[in-house]
Amino acid sequence: MFNTYNFNMQRFNCLDHFLPSGVLFDESVLSVSVRHDTDNISDHDPLVMSLTLEGGVFELTGRSFKERITWCKANETNIHEYRHLFRQLLGTI
């Protein structure tokens, strides 16, 4: 367990955490350590996690647009039409 917080060099706790997935932890974490730098004036000492990650090849695609309802711009007619459509669709279930 790492102490990452100290109060006046009298109380010590582990307050800071990394929460990786099980797969990431099992396959990629090389080490975890705490940096106790003398020029750090904070009560918190930073955690350092070293990982080994394989780089994959990514293919970039164009941006895609997904139409969404902008409720802040809807007027009473839009809301009425939406409610009517919603009731119709619920009725088909």
pLDDT tens, 16-56? 667 778 888 788 888 877 776 667 666 677 777 788 887 76
The CA–CA distances, whole Å, from 25 to 45, 86, 91 equal 22, 45, 48
Is the CB of residue 43 less than 8 Å from the CB of residue 60?
A: no
- Phi, psi for 24 (deg, rounded to 5): -60, -45
d(CA 52, CA 27): 8
Length of the chain in residues, anyone?
93
What is the C-alpha to C-alpha distance for residues 52 and 29, in angstroms, rounded to an integer?
Answer: 7
- Between 4-13, 42-51, 79-88, the lowest mean confidence (pLDDT) is in 4-13
Q: In the chain, pLDDT over 70 holds for what percent of residues?
A: 69
Does the pTM surpass 0.85? The reply is: no
